[in-house]
């Protein structure tokens, strides 16, 4: 069973909790689309509101986890930041723009590094969570109900 079949198996066979795991994994280090998992779960019969809730809990939980990584392991992450074009560019923006950079945190590819960098720069968690979680949930709502129109 390959990488993508494993994740498809999770939400097809375990419903909401499987989607939660896939959404969590997709927002951390694994190159997988939580949006594709959300749509796959809906098309597989999981009610839309349940799919949005499970995917949101998993994805927001992973964002909090990423923040914690940046916060607690900042010195070790500093090496990765300096070696990565994506991380170093977003680190510079985060340092310059502050909380405003969080408005980009829902985007694919750059959103997850932003959540790590927020912890690294020790942004206030309640502001981080308010912005990031809202954007992530709104993205799922727009996607789920947008494709059903």
Q: Is 33 helix (H, G, I), strand (E, B) or coil?
A: coil
Mapping DSSP to helix (H, G, I), strand (E, B) and coil, where does residue 45 land?
Answer: coil
pLDDT at position 51 is 94
pLDDT in tens, 51-91: 999 999 999 999 999 999 999 987 776 777 777 777 777 77
Low-confidence ranges of the chain (pLDDT < 50): 1
What's the mean pLDDT when you consider all of the chain?
Answer: 84
Residue spans of the domains in the chain: they are 3-147
* Distance from C-alpha of 90 to C-alpha of 87, rounded to nearest angstrom: 5
Q: Is the pTM of this model over 0.75?
A: yes
């Amino acid at each position: 069973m390959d990488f993508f079949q494993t994740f498809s198996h999770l939400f097809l066979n375990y419903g909401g909790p499987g989607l939660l795991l896939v959404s969590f994994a997709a927002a951390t280090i694994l190159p997988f689309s939580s949006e594709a998992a959300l749509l796959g779960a809906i098309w597989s019969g999981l009610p839309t509101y349940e799919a949005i809730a499970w995917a949101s809990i998993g994805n927001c939980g992973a964002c909090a986890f990423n923040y914690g990584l940046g916060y607690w392991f900042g010195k070790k992450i500093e090496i990765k930041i300096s070696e990565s074009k994506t991380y170093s560019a977003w680190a510079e923006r985060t340092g310059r723009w502050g909380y405003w950079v969080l408005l980009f945190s829902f985007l694919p590819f750059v959103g997850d590094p932003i959540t790590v960098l927020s912890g690294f720069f020790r942004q206030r968690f309640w502001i981080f969570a308010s912005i990031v979680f809202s954007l992530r949930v709104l993205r799922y709502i727009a996607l789920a109900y947008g494709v059903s129109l």
